[in-house]
A and B are shown apart, each in its own frame.
Chain A
Amino acid sequence: MQQVKLRDIRVLMMAVNFIGVLFTTVSVAATTEWICSRYEARDFLDTVHAIPVQPRMNVIVVTALYLILVAVFIAQERYVNQTGRIYLLLVLEFMISAVIVGVMNFNYNGLFFLVFTGVMYHAKGDKGKYLVICLALISFLLTDSKLLSINFDLYSINDYFNFYDASVQQYLLGAYNLLNSLNIILFIIYCILMIQQQRGTIDEVNLLYEEIRKTNQDLENANHQLKEYAKITERMGETRERNRLAREIHDTLGHTLTGISVGIDACIAMVELAPREAKNHLERISAVARNGLLDIRRSVNELKPDALERLGLESSITKMITDMKSVTDMQIFFDCRIKPLKFDQDEESAIYRVIQESLTNAMRHGKASRVRIVMERQEDTAVLTINDNGIGCSEIKNGFGTKHIMERIGMLNGTVEFKSENGFSVIARIPIRWGEEYD
């Protein structure tokens, strides 16, 4: 709808400009004849600063050029969506207009308004359009005939009008000014319509923006929900783990204890009647209990990292020592010289495992009765020393958990040393990532 209206105004401007151009050239040509027929040519020449070269020819030339301009206009309508061609046609329109205005010695330069509207109509939103608009604007301002006639010899239509009586002069000037004003009024109407249309576009943009904002909000909500879901999933994982442990304890310890208690009941009944058989039976029960113990140990092992997480490193170690003391009569000393004893999770885990492994080794292989654990700091290194009074070993064999220890410390860029004099010693050096945690 708007598009059609804008084009209609352009067509109307085309017509008004044609009348303006024709009026300018024809009135000059007609006045020339009028002057000549009255034999006042010489007097007239005294009143002008310049004259057109061939007034009649100007009418023909200008009309022909204007027809080309109309053809360009029609071509513009046809290639409305082909940016390259449109620009070529707009430049052509500008150049033809400039030639027409030049032929008329700038006595009518309203044509540049037509070029304006063309540019605004066809080059919406392109950066190039500002260039063309500037060009047209500058052309219009600079081609004011009064301004130009200061520096150039240009004929003035007013000189021709002035030749007539005052009354005729008024009509001619009136008509001339009317055409000029009409052209400008049409141009202003065109601009207003253009602005209105652009406002419509802005509303559309706002609507789209609102939609995008909503979609964004939805997305954020979905993201939030996803995080919640992840948390729930995590908790479910914990629950499942707990259930698994409960089942394991029930399956292994429950089964073993049940077996043992039933076995012992049978032994109680049997011990007096058949002591030998009871003894055999007890031996089987002992094996079951030992197997059960193994199972429990496995389960507890799986539980321990949790303990480490729950209690912190120092407490976990203390607990482990207490637990160990309660089943054996081994003496264990823990000397912690780093306060507070807190490292990254992977470091803590490694330290915990190294102590656990070393204690197991001391008990199982070294037959030690006394173990000393020292945790101290030497410059940027945490040094863990575990020393027992066991039998040690003449050569350190892999497979006694030492490989395991080396791997774990190696992962922390630390070093491990094993010594077998005065019992067995494990010395692990772990570079501390201080700065980050302790400042």
Chain B
Amino acid sequence: MSRKKKISIAAGLFGILALLAGGLIYQSNRVVVLEVGIFAGSNWDVANANSYVIIDKAVEKFEAEHTNVKVHYYSGIRKEDYSEWFSRQVLRGREPDVFMVLGEDFNQFAEIGIMKDLEPLMMADQDFQKESYYSTALQAGQYGGRQYALPYETVPTLMFVNKSLLNREGLSVPDNDWTWDDLYQICRQITKDRDGDGLLDQFGTYNYGWTEAVYSNGAELFDENGTESYFNDERVTEAVRFTKQITDLNQRQKVSKDDFDSGNVAFMPLPFTEYRTYKTYPYKIKKYTKFQWDCITLPAGPEGGNTSMINTLLMGISNHTEEEQLAWEFLKLLTYDEEIQMDLFRYSQGVSVLREVTTSRETGEILQADMEKNEKFIDNNLVSDVIENGVVTPKFPKYADAIAMADNEINRIIEDDDNIDNSMRILQRQIGKYLRR
């Protein structure tokens, strides 16, 4: 071997060693930036002054635990812009490592492979018990039977009750285990023309639709994969029939938001967040001020319970993140840490997705603290039950279109005096055909 060759080999080896050493030094001093995608304001379209309090706390805690990690998020993205902003990041391949997913985006994002399948991470993590979550909240983050997102905050639907109106009619607020019959009796009793102009001016329900009835009658509209629909199921037909009965009480008169705001409607389905926001100070003075009101569960159908739909804000991890483990740790901090989840009751209006947190005494105290002395906040254990038994909308790509088709047709059936059984059979055929296509 020539001298020249020896020298060049030695130089090559030295170069490789230098590179390796440099790489090691760089790696140990490197600051990892974890990008987080969140939006300002509330997911529930209620006023929220404390948008970033929880995330800032979480970031602080996370950065303290991981010294070489910086968590970054863009502030000031409004909820209505968030979807577009996030989609742009996705298209350019620059999506955040951990991000919030809006309910209407989740299906498509999971379908086109933006979201990481969390099952392996969940399995690998010894400290993680998915049973701690409400099963319904967890279910909201599943697509095609796999967990693509974890729930961050959940919101059940409750029934708004105009206490003043009921008192005026000599009725008391129904119990939380009331039924369709109770609802119908009350509605029949209070639907009347009070000023004698020949038109009804006091109504039973506003916005109580066939879907609420279906969910509280133990029925399902689709199977999990979106291949089957059950519109001719007796429980569904029964719910539609009941909705028609309730609607018919109004004698084809449309009940408006104005009627409701003026205190002329007894019942309205309402998300928990609205209740939380406008029942307590400071927003208490902003809405529903002309009457006394409270919230109870939705009435149970003959085949179901006092259940309603729950809405869940989800968070996921990018399928292409380079910091999978860190992203998982941060996602876990936001969705699984009891302290952070407890903050939801302090700074947000939704409900924690962890059963332990929601049913804790501390939660009850936080909720009660904002109330006026003479009023009692809805019991947090009842809320927990409502979430536990809640209904989650199925996750499949054609869901939005299929449910829109069904809503359109069923509303027509309720308006017109059709043969309900027959019309539902036809609808079932149409939807089935669409799903199979």
Q: Which residues of A contact B (CB under 8 A)?
A: 32-33, 35-36, 39, 41-42, 44-46, 48-57, 153
Q: Is the CB of A54 within 8 A of B93?
A: yes
In the bound complex, what is the Cα–Cα distance between A46 and B108 (angstroms)? 7
In the bound complex, what is the Cα–Cα distance between A45 and B92 (angstroms)? 12
- A and B contact pairs by CB, cutoff 8 A, 27 listed: A32-B92, A33-B92, A35-B88, A36-B91, A39-B84, A39-B88, A41-B87, A41-B88, A41-B91, A42-B83, A42-B84, A42-B87, A45-B87, A45-B90, A45-B112, A46-B108, A49-B112, A50-B112, A50-B113, A51-B113, A51-B114, A53-B93, A54-B93, A54-B320, A55-B91, A55-B92, A57-B93
In the bound complex, what is the Cα–Cα distance between A48 and B93 (angstroms)? 15
Q: Is the CB of B91 within 8 A of A53?
A: no
In the bound complex, what is the Cα–Cα distance between A294 and B388 (angstroms)? 145
* Given A32-B91, A36-B92, A52-B93, A45-B108 contact (CB < 8 Å): yes
The residue in chain A whose Cβ has the minimal distance to the Cβ of B107 is A46
In the bound complex, what is the Cα–Cα distance between A55 and B87 (angstroms)? 14
Residues of B within 8 A of A44 (CB): 87, 91
Interface residues as binary, B97-117 with A (CB distance below 8 Å gives 1, 0 otherwise): 000000001001101111000
Q: Is the CB of A41 within 8 A of B108?
A: no
CB within 8 A of A51: which of B83, B84, B91, B105?
Answer: B91
Tell me the chain B residues, 68-108 only, with Cβ under 8 Å from chain A: 83-84, 86-88, 90-94, 105, 108
Quote the shortest CB–CB distance from B267 to chain A (angstroms).
Answer: 35
Quote the shortest CB–CB distance from A290 to chain B (angstroms).
Answer: 101
Apart from A41-B87, A45-B90, A56-B93, list 14 A-B contacts with CB within 8 A. Answer: A32-B92, A36-B88, A41-B84, A41-B90, A44-B87, A45-B87, A48-B112, A49-B111, A49-B112, A50-B112, A54-B94, A55-B92, A55-B93, A56-B92
Residues of A within 8 A of B105 (CB): 42
Q: Is the CB of B88 within 8 A of A51?
A: no
- What 6 A-B pairs are tightest by C-beta distance, nearest first? A54-B93, A41-B87, A42-B87, A41-B88, A36-B88, A42-B83
Q: Is the CB of B91 within 8 A of A45?
A: yes
The residue in chain B whose Cβ has the minimal distance to the Cβ of A49 is B112
* Given A41-B87, A42-B83, A45-B87, A54-B92 contact (CB < 8 Å): yes
Residues of B within 8 A of A36 (CB): 88, 91-92
In the bound complex, what is the Cα–Cα distance between A92 and B105 (angstroms)? 42
The residue in chain A whose Cβ has the minimal distance to the Cβ of B93 is A54
The residue in chain B whose Cβ has the minimal distance to the Cβ of A32 is B91
Q: Is the CB of A51 within 8 A of B108?
A: no
In the bound complex, what is the Cα–Cα distance between A52 and B86 (angstroms)? 15
Residues of A within 8 A of B108 (CB): 45-46
Residues of A within 8 A of B84 (CB): 39, 41-42
Residues of A within 8 A of B320 (CB): 53-54
In the bound complex, what is the Cα–Cα distance between A33 and B320 (angstroms)? 20
The residue in chain A whose Cβ has the minimal distance to the Cβ of B104 is A42
In the bound complex, what is the Cα–Cα distance between A36 and B109 (angstroms)? 17
